[in-house]
Structure formats: structure tokens, C-alpha cells
Amino acid sequence: MNNYIHPKAQLGKNVQVEHFSTIYEDVIIGDNCIIHPNVTIFPGTRIGSNCTIFPGAVLGAIPQDLKFAGEYSTVEIGNNVVIRECTTVNRGTSNSGTTKVGDNTLLMAYVHVAHDCVIGKNCILANATNLAGHILIDDFVYFGGMSGAHQFTKIGKHSFISGGSMIGKDVPPFCLVMRNPAQYAGINAVGLKRAGFTKEDIHTIQDVYRYVFGNGLNTTQAVQKVEEEIQQSAVRDTILDFIKNAERGIIKGID
């Protein structure tokens, strides 16, 4: 095999490493992974079990951050993750120490995940999605192709980011988002139904966002109205907690 595996790299059982791939020291790869040709895995990378890495992917390269001073940091890839062609996932910085990709996530071709990002479980980032540093993405978030997000933004669970959207503010949970700059365009109704949310939950989510985006209220006023007029529930409180902790502010509604 014309590949290079450092003798101090730790590979689990049934790991397949194909031609011209390079695996450096201080790399840990779990069981039953497939590393296709021309993959580069740098020191500090941790990969779970049952992952597939396609040609041209580069994992664990140092951050593209001028403040990076060579500090030790890692990339942590979960289980059952698929990373397609020419995707890059950079190491963390001293800010958090790591970049994370959760279980059962798919990163399609040419995706870039910058330093200190945290991607939750069961996410899909379609082709050429680009994430700047320090972005937090919750579980079950889908990005359409050619979309991007500004550094330090947060994207709530079960959101759908339409292709070509550019995120500059935080995206609350359960939203459908589109345009540049990204704007609220409704709730992710199809995704919520597929995920097993009840009709009552979906109606509650719609009611909450009518106050947040549809009544001409500012965010503080909308939150107060929701607390006063919509019965407490898990989905209501998930949205309110996210909005209250949105340090960059949240996206706006469609004009």
C-alpha cells in the first residue's frame, strides 16, 4: 500500500486505509472506518467508529487563525460520520481546544469547518457549506449547498438553512432560513414532521414565531408576550431559552 501511517497512530479493528493517504502521529481512529485515497489526517485528530472519509479530505490541520500560536488542540469526529471529497476540518485554538463533529453527521464535498466549531448529532452540511470559527450548531440542523455562517453564530436544533444563505445572526430552533443576509422564512415543518414532532408541538412553534417575527414587536417584547400568552411546553421553552441567550441577536423575518 502506498500510504503512510505513523507508528504511533492508533487504529482500531478493521480500519481500511487506501492508497496515498497519510495518517500522522497522535491520531486515534475507531473500529470499522474506511479512509479512502489521498486523505490527510494531522496530529490531534480523533475519529470514532464506522466513519467513512472520502478522497481529498484534510482533518486536523492547524487553524486559519492569525492568533494561533501553536498550542495543542484537537479535532473530535463522532461515530458513523461521513466526510466527503475535499472537506476540511481544522483543529481548535486555545479558546476551546477542540473542533467537534457529532455522531451520524454528513459533511458533503468541499465543506469547511473552521477552528472551535461544534456541530451536533445527525446534521447534514451540503456541498461547499463554509463555517467560520467558533460556530455552535445543535442537533438535526441541515445546511443547503453554498451556504455559510459568520464566526460565533449559533444555530438551533432542527433548523433548515436554505442553499446560498449567509448567516450573520443566531438562528433559533425549528426555523426555515433563507436569503443573504439570512432571514426567517417560516418553521421547518417538513423536518419536524419527519422527526416525530406532534401537531400540537408544531402549532406551538408556529404561534411562538408569530410573536417573534410577525407582530412588529422587538425581541424583548415578543419574549414577554410569549411568556404571558402561550402555555408553557418543552418546545416553547427551548425557543425562549435560545433567544434569551443569543449574544449576537437573532435573524430577522422576511421583509
pLDDT digits (tens, 9 = 90+) for 158-207: 999 999 999 999 999 999 999 999 999 999 999 999 999 999 999 999 99
Least confident of 33-47, 96-110, 210-224, 231-245: 210-224
Give the pairing of strands 34-35 and 58-61. unpaired
Task: Decide which of 86, 101, 134 is a domain's last residue.
Answer: 134
Residue range 81-92: mean pLDDT, rounded: 98
* Cα–Cα distance for residue pair 224/237, rounded to 1 Å: 12
Is residue 159 within 8 Å of residue 141, measured between CB atoms?
Answer: yes
Host domain of residue 118: 4-134
For residues 12-26, average pLDDT: 98
Distances, alpha carbon 213 to alpha carbons 69, 183, 222, in Å: 43, 10, 8
Q: What is the pTM of this model?
A: 0.96
Residue 10 has pLDDT above 90, yes or no: yes
* pLDDT value at 255 more than 90: no
The verdict on 30 and 99 lying in the same domain is yes
Domain at 39, CATH number: 2.160.10.10
Domain end: 134, 153, 168, which one?
134
End position of a domain, from candidates 88, 107, 134: 134
The enclosing domain of 220 has a CATH number of 1.20.1180.10
- pLDDT above 70 covers a percentage of the chain that reads 99
Residue 244 pLDDT > 80, yes or no? yes
Judge contact between 246 and 236, C-beta under 8 A: no
| pLDDT value at residue 1 | 61
Q: For residues 91-119, give the mean pLDDT.
A: 98
Regarding beta strands 175-178 and 160-161, do their DSSP bridges make them parallel or antiparallel, or are they unpaired? parallel
Residue 137 confidence (pLDDT) above 90: yes
* CB distance 231 to 191 below 8 Å: no
**2: confidence class by pLDDT, cuts 50, 70, 90:** confident
Contact 119, 136 (CB under 8 A): no
56-69 pLDDT, tens digit per residue, is 999 999 999 999 99
Phi, psi of 125 (to 5 degrees): -115, 110
Q: Are strands 82-83 and 183-187 parallel, antiparallel or unpaired?
A: unpaired
pLDDT at 254: 74
d(CA 24, CA 67): 24
197 and 126 within one domain: no
* Structure confidence at residue 214 (pLDDT): 87
130 and 197 part of one domain: no
Which residues are tagged catalytic? Answer: 115-116, 133
**What is the arithmetic mean of pLDDT over 24-32?**
98
Residue 170: inside a domain, yes or no? no
Amino acid at residue number 176: L
Q: How many domains does the chain have?
A: 2
Distance CA(52)–CA(47), nearest Å, equals: 10
Contact 53, 105 (CB under 8 A): no
